[in-house]
Amino acid sequence: MRNLPIYLLTLMLSATVLAEEGVIRLTPDQAVRSGVVSAALSDLKGGGGIRLPAQVVVPPAQIEVIASPLSAMVSTMKVAYGETVRKGQSLVRLQGAQLLELQREFAQAQAQAGLAVENLRRDESLFADGIIAQGRLAATRAAERQAAMQLAEKRQALRMAGAAEPGTGAASMSGSAEIRAPFDGVILDAAAQPGQRVDAATPLFKLGRLTPLWLEIQATSAQAAGLSVGDAVSVPGCADTGRVALIAPHMQAASQSLLIRAELSRPEGCVKPFQYIQAVLMPSRQPGDRSWRIPVGALTRHQGKAWVFVETAGGYRPVDVKVMDEAPEGALVAAELDGSARLAVKGVATLKAIWLGLGAGESK
């Protein structure tokens, strides 16, 4: 304070008592000489978006883990991480003894089912001629139904394993299976390697649908105060806006931030899964329509609060505000102020020094 200009030091000493009463008394001439410049809130950009960090994630319901249906060896990997695949496209080829067993069991069940059909036809003919009793025909029908069910079971087991249905000849039993994509998507993870032996239920791929995508946004309680489900969310480079789908009711323990989840219904080409971005949230409701985008230089901080200096009759009055967003180009604040009010946008450091009575007792 010893290096302050004599004029400012004298002004601060004379205004200390008045500042303690809640108003910093300055004439227009004193304000000009002190470098204090005011601007009307109505001239400042009202409302505005809140810029917050976000990560692009794939909704869990759109991710499917594709696992090995049985113990086998990975013969061929036909796709890799990051590739786009179509429904029915072959992803990996497996080979193993269990596949041969499944094909053999299917062939046996197929033969048994064919024999059961022939037996049923014969017994129906014999019963019509009165040669056999109805009880024998009923037993034959039951055996045919059981053989058909067993064949259906073996066929489904082959399909789940990705193996082809063999014919009756042993030459058609290959012992290999093709695992195919169940839907159009992108390979999010490819865990297996050619030549690797895998057990049943060993994860091979994670396949995800990329429409829609989620944005997981981190916010403070103050930033989330004016937000609600359904608010618009824009992302640089994306033509379509997203919408807030969830505002978590509790804080995250590790980061002490609040999770806000937004959904991008058409994210094609503008964002990618797991990408970190800056999202701009546009609150549909402002707290009492009392929010403004003001210059960062208009803010000052004291006792853990943010303050602005509002012009009043004969001087300036400090008013505490809630900072909802702060960036180099401006800060979004909420406060109980009239839209016609004027606040100091320059010379704020001088007003703060007078307000706090700095310099008193240092007149040397």
pLDDT band at 226 (very low <50, low <70, confident <90, very high): confident
Q: Which CATH architecture has domain 64-207?
A: Beta Barrel (2.40)
CATH code 2.40.30.170 region(s) in the chain: 50-58+210-285
Which amino acid, residue 295? P
**Length of the chain as a residue count:** 364
198, pLDDT greater than 70: yes
Whether the CB-CB separation of 351 and 316 falls below 8 Å is answered with yes
pLDDT band at 287 (very low <50, low <70, confident <90, very high): very low
Whether the CB-CB separation of 255 and 218 falls below 8 Å is answered with yes
20, pLDDT greater than 90: no
Helices then strands, counting H and E runs in the chain, come out as 6, 22
pTM, whole model, 2 decimals?
A: 0.59
Q: Among 14, 46, 49, which residue's Cα sits nearest to residue 219? A: 49
CA distances from 358 to 5, 344, 350, 354 (A): 14, 19, 10, 6
Q: Which CATH architecture has domain 6-47+288-356?
A: Beta Barrel (2.40)
Q: Which residue has the tokens 């091979």?
A: 204
CATH code 2.40.420.20 region(s) in the chain: 6-47+288-356
Structure confidence by residue, pLDDT tens digits, 125-146: 999 988 999 999 999 999 999 9
- Region of residue 361 (phi > 0: left; psi between -120 and 50: alpha; otherwise: beta): left
CATH code 2.40.50.100 region(s) in the chain: 64-207
76, pLDDT greater than 70: yes
Q: Which residue has the tokens 């989840």?
A: 261
360, pLDDT greater than 80: no
189, pLDDT greater than 90: yes
Q: Regarding beta strands 90-95 and 176-180, do their DSSP bridges make them parallel or antiparallel, or are they unpaired? A: antiparallel
Mean pLDDT of 338-344: 84
The top-level CATH class assigned to 50-58+210-285 is mainly beta
- Residue 76: count other Cβ atoms within 10 Å of its Cβ: 14
